[in-house]
Amino acid sequence: MRGVRDPPNDVEGESVMAPNTDSDNRSRKTLTALLKNGFAIAALAAPLTLLPASPILAADPAPSAADQACLGCHGVEGMEKKLTDGDTLKLLVPPAPYLKSVHGGNGCTSCHADVDIAKHPPEKNDIASKRSFRLTMTQVCRSCHADKFDQWQNSIHAALVKSGNPGAPVCTDCHNPHAVIKGVAATVDQIPCKQCHSDIYTAWLGSVHGQNRLHQKDSYAPLCSGCHTAHSVQPVSVGTLAQGPEGACLGCHAEVLQAHEKWLPNAALHFQVVSCPACHVPNAQRRVDLMLINASNAKARGTEQIGVPLFEASTNSGSKGIDAQTLYTLLQTLDRSGLAGKTTVRGRLEVANGPQMHGLAPKSQAISDCRTCHDASSKTFQSVTVSLVGPDGRRVGYGATADVLNSAFSVGAVSGFYAIGGTRIKLLDILLALAIFGGVSIAVGHVFIGWMFKRFGLYHPHNGHGGTPAGGDDAHKPAA
């Protein structure tokens, strides 16, 4: 998946109940007056009583007296706090959405247990930044949602947080804690993923999956979480057949291999070396990716194992990218570096980026012409990358020249793409031609030599197994 950007800061109520000692004086005076004059309950009740009656509102729990006191201040526009970094933290919790949320019946202190209402706000309680506050509050979420938190901890998002990425999402970036409605995130227009991955979301929305969701009432087409899961999100670009993009596809399209075998030669081999979007996104840019792997267990090599400085020093071939000689030097260097197992490369045909991967077309538009790839004029084999895995689990790719595919060290990895005369990998054509020539030469030579022996009397046919050859020893005995 692509790098996440800093999520938007306009999610209301992300940090409610934070101490407000240094908030705007005018707001504090106004709110204090409201409390002294007994208007806190009125401020809460007004928006509820003016709304038309409905089954949803009728079922909403009434706020406790303690919650009414909290919402008497935090339910009024203008509640905010200045942070140490100069930013401003919104402290507004609109009462109606909060009371309808899954947290509405829990009470404010179920999450904000550290707040003593009698001493709130305290004289001093500095908050460094919005980000630091979000990270702290994830532990509050964990106290009730331990299973989901554990799933998140093993995800790509948590890995990005640990690496210091300021845009990596934590709980409150995806779930507004004061307006969570169960099931809302499973609707097209409320998918939280689009806050960071807007380009991928747009591509998905125009895909066969997105369009089916939009126009079919009972659609089962996958949302983001259908392929990536909701909390234990893993990078898919480095996965194997069972774990990568194809693993997600086969979860719904279980008999797709059998369907392809009806018309596609070597269908199982195609599934191993060609990603689904390479054919099912007809207008995508394609590339051959050579992933560095441990030959003993087929697992991808990582930058933490190899060391980025070592990798970059070994691949220093100028701005043109990694060439065949550089790949040879790189593999030799890695095998001498003490890594367990021999380092080799695994070739796959992929699309260029995340948005293209998600822009799947209807199957009637999928590529079925073999010449798209297996043709000497195909551009597919002109775009090549050499990849490994970064500390956060995502693929790190380095550009390579097309002639790297002619290297003896990468031919084995891309042999699955091969059709005689149908690719730009000329070495494979030469090797196959030599093999065919050698096989034919042996057969022709054998026949020719046999003919020569017969022609010049050098060949003596045998008279059965173990018998005496015609014209043999008996023929040379003197007459009696």
Task: Yes or no: say if 349 and 273 are a contact pair by the CB < 8 Å rule.
Answer: yes
Q: Is residue 257 part of a domain?
A: yes
Residues 171 and 29 in one domain: yes
Q: Are residues 33 and 128 in the same domain?
A: yes
The verdict on residue 45 lying in a domain is yes
Residues 151 and 72 in one domain: yes
Q: Output the pLDDT for position 243.
A: 54
Q: How many domains does the chain have?
A: 4
Q: Are residues 158 and 263 in the same domain?
A: no
pLDDT number for residue 16: 45
Do residue 105 and residue 175 come from a single domain?
yes
Q: Which residues contact 343 (CB under 8 A, 6 or more apart)?
A: 292, 293, 294, 295, 301, 331, 334, 335
Q: Please tell me whether residues 126 and 194 are part of one structural domain.
A: no
Q: Is residue 122 part of a domain?
A: yes
Domain contains 7:
no
Q: Are residues 270 and 129 in the same domain?
A: no
* Residue 17 resides in a domain: no
Indicate if 219 and 304 belong to the same structural domain. Answer: no
Q: Is residue 430 part of a domain?
A: no
pLDDT the model gives residue 201:
96
Q: How high is the pLDDT of residue 316?
A: 58
Check whether the bond before 121 is cis (ω within 30° of 0): yes
> Which structural domain range is residue 361 located in?
245-424
Q: Are residues 192 and 274 in the same domain?
A: no
Specify whether 222 is located in the same domain as 256.
no
In a domain, 11, yes or no: no
Residues 255 and 374 grouped into a single domain: yes
- Are the C-beta atoms of 418 and 425 separated by less than 8 Å? yes
Task: Enter the tokens of residue 466.
Answer: 């173990």
* pLDDT tens sequence across 410-426: 655 555 444 444 445 56
> Which residues of the chain are modeled with pLDDT < 50?
1-58, 240-242, 416-423, 464-466, 469-472, 475-476, 480
pLDDT tens string 318-329: 557 888 878 877
240 in any annotated domain: no
Assess whether 363 and 466 both reside in one domain: no
Contact 249, 241 (CB under 8 A): no
321: left (phi over 0), alpha (psi -120 to 50) or beta: left
Taking the model in full, what pTM does it have? 0.72
